[in-house]
């Protein structure tokens, strides 16, 4: 493990450097911070990234694309959602995801995608509670050979109206 950590760290640093050098108009990294009235420095509580991902063949033939070209197969994808252990169960992950959803709507993107491991039950509960649904199960030989969990691709169709407003309208129709 001693040799792997420096290589992993170098890879992460290089990835961040490349993202900063070539910014995309549809990429954002959101950071939730703890603020303090006593003047203590800000502490990072959680982060999430959202950006355009290209997938050969797209996520599905019925998905809408950010680009007007039907062959582009670009969709908004959420990745690297992380909340520090001491800040969990306080709504930070939900707030970060909702911020991504609002930004996606501002960008004119009606769908969001993300992956979650099938054995990450806590994250799956969070995503399902926020309206994400299973799009497909990504399977590989590694999963079977090495007993690794499969990756679940989840999606969410975004509505321009907040859920409370939609519920009020539905009540009025009844």
77 contacts: CB under 8 Å, gap ≥ 6: 50, 51, 52, 53, 112, 113, 114
- The pTM (predicted TM-score) of the whole model is 0.72
Helix (H, G, I), strand (E, B) or coil at 25: coil
Question: d(Cα 27, Cα 102) in Å, to the nearest integer?
Answer: 13
Which position has the token pair 């999606």? 155
pLDDT in tens, 56-93: 445 543 444 444 444 456 789 999 999 999 999 999 99
> What residues make up the domain containing 28?
4-173
Rounded-to-integer distance, Cα 20 and Cα 14, Å: 10
Query: Rounded to an integer, what distance in angstroms lies between the CA atom of residue 96 and that of residue 35?
Result: 16
pLDDT digits 0-9 by tens, 21-66: 666 778 899 999 988 777 676 889 999 999 988 764 455 434 444 4
3-state secondary structure of 89: coil
Pure H helices in 84-136: 92-106, 121-129
**CATH number for the domain that contains residue 40:** 3.40.630.30
Considering its fold, how many domains does the chain have in total?
1
CA pair distance 86, 94, nearest whole angstrom? 16
Tell me the two tokens of residue 14. 């290089």
- Start-to-end CA span in the chain (Å): 62
């Amino acid at each position: 493990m001693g040799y792997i950590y420096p290589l992993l760290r170098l890879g992460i640093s290089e990835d961040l450097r490349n993202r900063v050098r070539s910014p995309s108009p549809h990429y954002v990294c959101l950071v939730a911070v703890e603020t303090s009235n006593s003047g203590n420095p800000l502490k990072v509580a959680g982060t999430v990234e959202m950006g355009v991902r290209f997938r050969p063949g797209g996520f599905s033939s019925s998905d809408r694309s950010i680009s007007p070209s039907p062959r582009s197969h670009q969709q908004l994808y959420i990745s690297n959602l992380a909340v520090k252990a001491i800040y969990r169960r306080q709504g930070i992950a939900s707030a970060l995801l909702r911020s991504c959803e609002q930004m996606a709507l501002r960008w004119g993107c009606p769908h969001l995608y993300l992956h979650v491991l099938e054995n990450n039950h806590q994250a799956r509960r969070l995503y399902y509670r926020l309206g994400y649904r299973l799009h497909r199960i990504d399977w590989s030989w590694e999963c079977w050979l090495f007993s690794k969990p499969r990756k679940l691709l989840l999606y969410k169709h975004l509505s321009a109206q907040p859920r409370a407003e939609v519920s009020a309208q539905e009540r009025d129709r009844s």
